[in-house]
Structure 1
């Protein structure tokens, strides 16, 4: 097996997974892993929430921008920019404690994450040479779980050997640099690809009641993703008797996220996407509520498994459903879904830090988040009344 052959499916999938590890792991998720030591030394919980919010604002802007990049050669260019940004943004956090620089770094890192995931995934799908790419893309998106697990492991090793959180950021940047070389090499083309870009008119009929409810439900999932995705280690550490278990819980999030996409997509194929999205969101709600209701160590560790086991799969489920409904005109619909999810991501950290400041713990934030996600479940139940026979079968 020649993993340096940029046209081999195995090389393409590996490069795709590694690009997610850099774009989402180094540029996004390891911030959560390193949050407890940064809170002890430098950050306030309020500023951490603001940084999370603007990171997602950067990701949102990048995702929307990505939907309008039609030419594959341009996609390759922006993918490379995204990989560079992901590494450089980590270096800023390693060498600076200037709040303005951190804010700029996080919003740029968010844009880089979108280029790595959204644009990188489009390149992977274009390059793969197989008739049915669903299973391969499921493996590709397992990179989100690997991103959490790998970068968390690196940061924990640095801290274990008495390194600082700044040294962790430096080592992660170096790691990201070397890994990105392979991804950038493989996810390129031997020569410039000539494409006939087909332009589609804006189809208002796509935004029927079923689709509007789906978009609203995806907003609530954006909220459900963020609160644990930003604060989970600190949530666990703040519980009586669970000090120090936060980082281990985050490791479980990554491990659970690795197979989740394939599992949920397989279930959706068998039982229908909307039905399985409802099950996944209810499962996520249970995971959100655990830390607010009990300090039992095993249940709280399990909350990490429930979170990692649902959020990756839910992104794949919603986007796959939206893509199939849109057919040959996916850009506007995918943009609407991404925007809705992104707004939820931006809003959630801001209300969370306000409630934490007000009550001195995470409970109210967790309750509100669970309530919002449950609202999404209600939207999905209502949407089934408006779904066509074809939409029910997806």
Structure 2
């Protein structure tokens, strides 16, 4: 029987792991772009390629994790990913060779996938093994905390340290955060669950996952279009010129407690009601950018966006984890891969439309249509849940 203190330590260690592997290993690059451009004359081509190879690493990791079922191997890769997040971040400041940066950012993407997907799956297995609520809202609050940490730390160090020193500082911050992770992470190898059996066939579970995959792809479009162009829209406004990082900070601040609040909402109103609401709110945040680009509207849009996108991530991945309790990382990785494909395609399309038309209006309207389609797929998954063996997904 685990105590409340034991559970709290495991949850804190899991959240900090997300902060390290996602917040620092991935999000630190965003505030570092202008520092590297000013410090070493980094071209926009290299800026874009570094972002691309990082996400390629993340998608590669998601694909590989979807094929792993051995719990011992998962634990070893999870630990390796934590160490990799520290090393690949700090080493960015020790070279000016572009090809080495590409390798480091690719490896950093692999680390992010282990922290997000293996971390979520291992925590889900631990919660199920100890008869705890299989909710991942607290876990995914680490994404919002990571955004906040990198935004605040960037503002603190950018005037005092050179670009290469700043990378090392990010790495040292990640190293310090490893201490409670190593101390409080349980032995996940003892949490392996038996393969689910019953009247529901594997084909029904696979069909349910596929439908959710389509819905999650749509959510990926909604997430990345705002994430990519929100700051650009803000910076184009005289009242927010030079303060785009503050808009992103608002999104992070909203995302941090939102995960826990979505868990509270699902307990009262049901998982599906909460998921419908999250999709609608995400669409509303996009619509606000179309209708009004005033200071108040952009800030409110950022707030709603941060609270809604993280809710979709935490609820959808928790859903598929419950359907596959014997190996939750596998369906989580499948969905994340489709989410990632959306993040590759959508910015290119919206960016092309913006260049051709001189504004983001049609690109944002296209994104709204995709989010509406996402709601349709959520409804289809809702209807199919009983066949998939997911009676716990109420509402």
Confirm or deny a common fold (TM above 0.5): yes
2:53 corresponds to 1:30: no
What is residue 314 of structure 1 aligned with on the other side?
Answer: 312
Q: Is the 8 A contact 1:36 1:233 kept in 2?
A: no
The corresponding residue for 1:273 is 271
Specify whether residues 326 and 125 from structure 1 end up closer, same or farther in structure 2 by C-alpha distance, changes over 3 A only.
closer
* Structure 2 spans left out of the alignment, 5+ residues: none
Retained in 2: the 8 A contact 1:34–1:165? yes
Equivalent position of 1:235 in the other structure: 233
Change (3 A) 1:309 1:119: same
Shift of 1:20: 1.0
Provide the rounded CA distance (Å) in 1 between the counterparts of 2:215 and 2:103. 30
* Residue 115 of structure 1 pairs with residue 104 of structure 2: no
SS in 2 for 1:393: coil
How far, CA to CA, are the matches of 1:297 and 1:91 in structure 2? Answer: 36
Contact 1:241 1:295 in 2 (8 A): no
Give the distance between the partners of 1:23 and 1:288, measured in 2 at CA.
28
2:169 is the counterpart of 1:171? yes
Q: Tell me: CA distance 1:196–1:393, structure 2 relative to 1, closer, same or farther (3 Å).
A: closer
Residue 393 in 1 paired to residue 391 in 2? no
| Worse-matched range after superposition: 333-342 or 313-322 | 333-342
Tell me if structure 1 keeps the 8 A contact 2:20–2:174. Answer: yes
1:157 counterpart = 2:156: yes
Separation (CA, whole Å) in 1 of partners of 2:44 and 2:65: 31
CA offset at residue 309 of structure 1?
A: 0.5
Moved over 6 A (4+): 194-197
C-alpha change, 1:228 and 1:43, in structure 2 (3 Å) is farther
Return closer, same or farther for 1:74/1:203 CA change in 2, 3 Å cut-off.
same
Gaps of 5+ in 1: none
| Distance (Å, rounded) in 2 between the aligned partners of 1:313 and 1:12 | 21
Inter-partner Cα distance in structure 2 for 1:334 and 1:15:
20
For residue 242 of structure 2, give the secondary structure of its aligned residue in structure 1: coil
Matched position secondary structure for 1:108: helix
238-247 or 60-69: which moved more?
Answer: 60-69
| Post-superposition CA distance 1:267-313 (Å, at most 9, x none) | 23333323322221121122224334433111111122112101211
In 2: Cα distance, 1:140 partner to 1:150 partner: 16
CA contact (8 A) 1:54 1:346 kept: no
CA 359–240 in structure 1, closer or farther in 2 if over 3 Å, else same: farther
- Secondary structure class of the residue paired with 1:8: helix
The root-mean-square deviation of aligned C-alpha atoms, in Å, is: 3.3
Residue of structure 2 in register with 1:144 after alignment: 143
Per-residue Cα deviation, 1:331-373 (whole angstroms, up to 9, x for no partner): 6544432322222223234334444554555444433333322
In the other structure, the counterpart of 2:63 is 64
1:131 pairs with 2:131: yes
Residues 45, 371 of structure 1: alpha-carbon distance in 2 compared, 3 angstrom cutoff: farther
Residues 193 and 325 of structure 2 are in contact (CA less than 8 Å); yes or no, is this contact kept in structure 1? Answer: no
Which residue of 2 is the match for residue 338 of structure 1? 336
CA-to-partner distance for each residue in 1:126-149, whole Å, 9 max, x for gaps?
5568532435x4323222211111
C-alpha offsets along residues 158-201 of structure 1, whole Å, 9 cap, x if unaligned? 12x35444443221111112212331343254xx9567775679
Q: How many angstroms apart in 2 are the aligned matches of 1:254 and 1:321?
A: 23
Q: 1:183 is matched with which residue?
A: 181
1:9 and 2:7 aligned: yes
Distance 2:378 2:342 in 1: 17
1:328 is displaced (CA, Å) by 4.9
* Cα gap change, 1:92 to 1:250, in 2 (>3 Å): same
Q: Name the stretch that deviates more: 35-44 or 273-282.
A: 35-44
Give matches, 1:248-259, under 5 Å: 248-259=246-257
* TM-score, L = length of structure 1: 0.83
C-alpha displacement of 1:157: 0.9
CA contact 2:141–2:255 (8 Å) conserved in 1: yes
Distance, in Å, in 2 between the alignment partners of 1:48 and 1:83 is: 25
In structure 1, C-alpha distance between the alignment counterparts of 2:89 and 2:273, rounded to whole Å:
39
Which range moved further: 281-290 or 308-317?
281-290
Equivalent residues in 2 for 1:48-127, closer than 5 Å: 48-126=47-125
Which residue of 1 is the match for residue 217 of structure 2?
Answer: 219
User: What is the count of residue pairs matched by the alignment?
Assistant: 384
